[in-house]
Structure 1
Amino acid sequence: MQIEGAEFRELQLQIFRTRMAFRRCMQRTLKKKEAGITFEMLQVLSCLWREQGITQQVLAERTAKDKACLTNLLGNLEKKGYVCRKEGSQDRRSKLVFLTPEGEQFWKDLLPVLDEVYTQVGHIIGLEHIQSMLSGLKNVHDVLESL
């Protein structure tokens, strides 16, 4: 069976639609829980929860944000007291980003709310289907990265 470009374009479009639906779902959850942050801020906090002390450049790449957008997000998160930026020890122009103690506590408080959404969606979709989609998407990623 030959794959036509139209099928791959449809896959790309569906991935984009799914991402947007996920964003809207998370934004509704954040609003309902009066978290006081946006989905984009959540992405930054989530990335920092996994690894702190990374450069703004690395954070921009991992969150798929341009530098200007990330600078704005970090400024807003700093105003809320959730993150801080420090000069890098080897390159003073390079800023390293960290969660503050308040940011760590906020994340710990928010995690059960997010897990509730993931669990609910997981029950509806089913573990086997999720694993299958994950495997397929990893395969697509690897192919695209190799071209």
Structure 2
Amino acid sequence: MREGTEFRELMLQVFRTRMAFRRAMQRTLKRNNAGITFEMLQVLSSLWHEQGITQQVLAERTAKDKACLTNLMNNLEKKGYVRREEDPTDRRSKLVFLTNEGEEFRNQIRPILDQVYVNAEQTIGLEGIKVMMSELNSVYNVLENI
């Protein structure tokens, strides 16, 4: 077996796991008639943690390019969930905020989404999660220092 094969398999499994998570969240959104995509959820979730951030920061946090994020922002604005305001310190930048409708949507959808996490946590167990977190943090640190 070639060197690095096991690590390559690990990275493939991380990717497959991420995709499975995306599909689980997308199914949950669809089952509950949320009317948004997983990508829109990523943007909203970032805003649920911090509002008034620039679209550039939002693009970095969601790993979206500018064109993709602009499209997502336009769709979220049409739904009435977000608004963009000119940054008073840099007119070229827009700051993004949740609207009242966006806040209401969060209050409706969060308990439903939280159930995905609760179910997974109950199935995997806290000890298993702690072990995986520790191992993934080690992988992260190795990759950041290469």
Fold shared, TM-score > 0.5 on shorter chain: yes
Unpaired stretches in structure 1, ≥5 consecutive residues: none
Superposed CA deviations along residues 48-95 of structure 1, whole A, max 9, x for unmatched, are 000001111110110011111000001000000000111111110011
CA distance in 2, matches of 1:139, 1:60: 26
Give how far 1:4 is off.
Answer: 3.3
Query: Which ranges of 4 or more aligned residues in structure 1 deviate by more than 6 Å?
Result: none
Partner of 2:82: 83
Partner of 2:19: 20
Q: Does 1:99 align with 2:101?
A: no
Give how far 1:111 is off.
Answer: 0.6
Partner of 1:122: 121
Question: How is 1:1-147 mapped onto 2 (pairs within 5 angstroms)?
Answer: 4-147=3-146
CA distance in 2, matches of 1:27, 1:130: 22
Letter in 2 for 1:63: T
CA distance in 2, matches of 1:15, 1:78: 33
Percent same amino acid at aligned positions? 70
CA distance in 1, matches of 2:117, 2:19: 16
CA distance in 2, matches of 1:4, 1:132: 25
CA distance in 1, matches of 2:141, 2:107: 33
Match of 1:97, SS? Answer: strand
Letter in 2 for 1:59: L
State the TM-score, normalized to the length of structure 2: 0.96
CA distance in 2, matches of 1:99, 1:48: 7
CA distance in 2, matches of 1:146, 1:96: 32
CA distance in 2, matches of 1:128, 1:40: 30
CA distance in 2, matches of 1:16, 1:106: 29
